[in-house]
Structures are given as structure tokens and as C-alpha cells.
Amino acid sequence: MMSRLELQLLVLASFCLLFLSTVYGRQETRSVRLGATSRTIRRVIVDLVGGSSLPGGKEDKEGEVPGGKESKEEDEKQEVEGEKEKREETAKAAVVVDVTVANFRREVLESDTPVLLDVYADWCGPCKQLTPVLEKVAIASKGQFRLAKLNSDENQELVGILNVTGLPTCFAVNEGTLTDKFMGGLPPDKLQSFLDRLVTGYGLRASKEVTDAGMKTELTEMTDKLSNYIGMTSLSFSKKEKLKSLVNEAMNNEGTMDLEKKSPSAALKLTLSYLKNAAKNIKNQKFRIIKTTSKAFSETLSKSPGCKLLLEAAGFQYKNGDISSNLDGYYELRHSNSGIVNYVLIYINDAVSRKKYGG
């Protein structure tokens, strides 16, 4: 028979053994779990960095993590997918561009390739459905047209000039001219027809026929406003100061002002008429040419050195006549930036006011 004290010691020893086994078991389980988690994290890192050589890991002779066959297959798969993504991004970069006021002239108005202008917003549900489709189509076209994406929230003044009343709104742009548009989504067949007109230039030809007939449509008027806005905002401070200096120099020359009446001379009024017509119809060849043999020019402007300098400040360049042009001599506008012409008009009016009121 065990004494009372021996029985108590036996029970205490049993509890101690039970406690130690429980603690050891928990530590072993936690160790197993940590090991599994560590291997999972390791695999994720390997996938992200695209390699299998990591510090602190045991590797085989070829530098692979144990279980290397599976890892190698994953690496190869990741590499193939990575190369595919790079090709897709390269193809996308060639035909899809984000535009703002800063690059709109270069990417849209001066583009040699037809442009599909997509006006969207990040919060617009239909935009999120349409834009990816347009991107894929642009890539598939292999350069037949480019997609220019304009964020409406970040370019509100420009969107106002485009008279956008709903999103998404898309415009066809050929040689800097707005030729077609649609708002919202289009069925596949109608979208295909829209893109066909863009790529073939059908809308541009129709627009030129209207313009040549001396008429204007909503899109041609919008093109003029857009071209003028972009042209004026694209000029740097130094360029505008240079234009102002050229205008002031020209206005100090003979023939610009009627000194007795302190008002514009007949030559200056004719010059202003030429410049206003050019600014409003910057793409119309009719207003880009000034015939020096015309009665109006020969009787007034030809005798004013100052007015000739004003034409040159606006970008007109004198050319001798030739058989191909069928002109004896003429001034031709050598750029398509209506902003330059409009700034010259502003500076001429400022100079006239100073001379008239002694400012």
C-alpha cells in the first residue's frame, strides 16, 4: 500500500508528464504550420521574381528549389506569359495613346494616320465596356488607325469645345478634321461601318466637298474651334512674345495707319481681312493663298511695307510665280496653326488701340 504522500507525488508526476507532452505537441504542430507557410511564401516570391535562386534556401546542382521539375515548368509558363504581355504592350503603345491639351495637336490634329478619338471617364460604366473593345480593334488593325483616349474629367475645356453631351463619345479624325462621331455604344456591324469610313477617308472627302462649296457643318465648325483652341494653347510664352515683337515692329513701318485719322489704313484693313479668313479656314487652300496680282492687293497692300511684314509675322511667305502654281507671285501660309494667326490679330488690335489713344 502506498502512503498518502507517495500517492500525491505520483499524481503530481503524472500531471507534469501530461503538461510537457502537451506543450511539446503544440510546438511541433506550430513548427509544421510555419514550415508550410514559409514554403507557400517562397513559391509566391519565386513566381513574382521569375527565378528559383533565393537566399537561405537549399538548392540542387542546377540552382533549382527542391521539387525543381514543377518549379521549372512554372517558370517557363511565367516566362511565356511575360513575353506575351510585353508583345501586347508594345503593340498597344504603337496605336493607343492618352491625349491631353499638351499633346493633342501632335497626336490627333497632325497625325498622318486616321485617329479614333475616344472621350471617356473613369466612372462611366459604358466607357469601361467600349474602350477595351476599341483598343483591341486598334491593335488588330495593325496601324490602319490609332486610338486617342481623352479623359473628360481632366480636360473639361477641351471636351466643352467638342460639345460632348454624353459618354462615351467617339470622333473620327482625318488629317486634323473631325469627320464623323457617335455617342454611346454601337452594334458590331455599325461600329465596323464607322471604322471603315474612318480608314478609307470617306468622311474626309465628304467634308472637303462641303467646305469647298463654301458651306459648314457642325463638325467642320467644331474643327475650326478645336484647331484654334489647341493652336493658341500650344504656343509657349517666348513664342508669343516673339510674335508680339514682330507685330509691333511691323506696325511702326509705313502704310499701317492713317496718321491723320489715327485709324487703320486701307492696306491694314485688307491685311486684317486676309488674316481673319485664314484663321477661320486654316485648312482651306483658298484662304491660304494671297495673290499679289489681284486688284485689291496691287492697289493697296503692295504699297505698304508694314502690312507685308504683318503677313510674314502670321506665317505667310512670298513665293515667285511658276507654271505649276499658275500664279505670277503670291503669299502662301506655311503652317496650319490658326493660333499663330489669331495671336497676330490680337497684337495688331492692341497696337492699333495704342496708336489711336496714345497708350
Distance CA 220, CA 174 (A): 12
Q: Which of 16, 127, 170, 307 is catalytic?
A: 127
Distance CA 211, CA 216 (A): 6
The dihedral through the CA atoms of 32, 37, 42, 43 has a sign that is positive
C-alpha grid cell, residue 159: 471636351
Q: Is the peptide bond before 168 cis (omega within 30 degrees of 0)?
A: yes
Note whether 183 and 124 are within 8 A (CB).
no
Q: Where are the alpha helices (DSSP H) in the chain?
A: 4-49, 68-95, 101-104, 125-140, 156-161, 188-200, 202-212, 218-233, 237-251, 266-280, 295-299, 305-314, 338-357
Q: Please choose, from the candidates 304, 313, 310, the residue with its C-alpha nearest in 3D space to the C-alpha of residue 254.
A: 304
Tell me, yes or no, if 127 is annotated catalytic: yes
For residue 112, how many other CB atoms are within 10 A of its CB?
A: 7
Distance CA 121, CA 128 (A): 9
Rounded to 5 degrees, φ, ψ at 150 are: -115, 115
Tell me, yes or no, if 124 is annotated catalytic: yes
Q: Is 153 helix (H, G, I), strand (E, B) or coil?
A: coil
Distance CA 190, CA 180 (A): 13
C-alpha grid cell, residue 172: 473620327
Q: Please choose, from the candidates 276, 256, 267, the residue with its C-alpha nearest in 3D space to the C-alpha of residue 356.
A: 256
Q: Which of 16, 124, 170, 307 is catalytic?
A: 124
Distance CA 221, CA 316 (A): 23
Active site residues: 124, 127
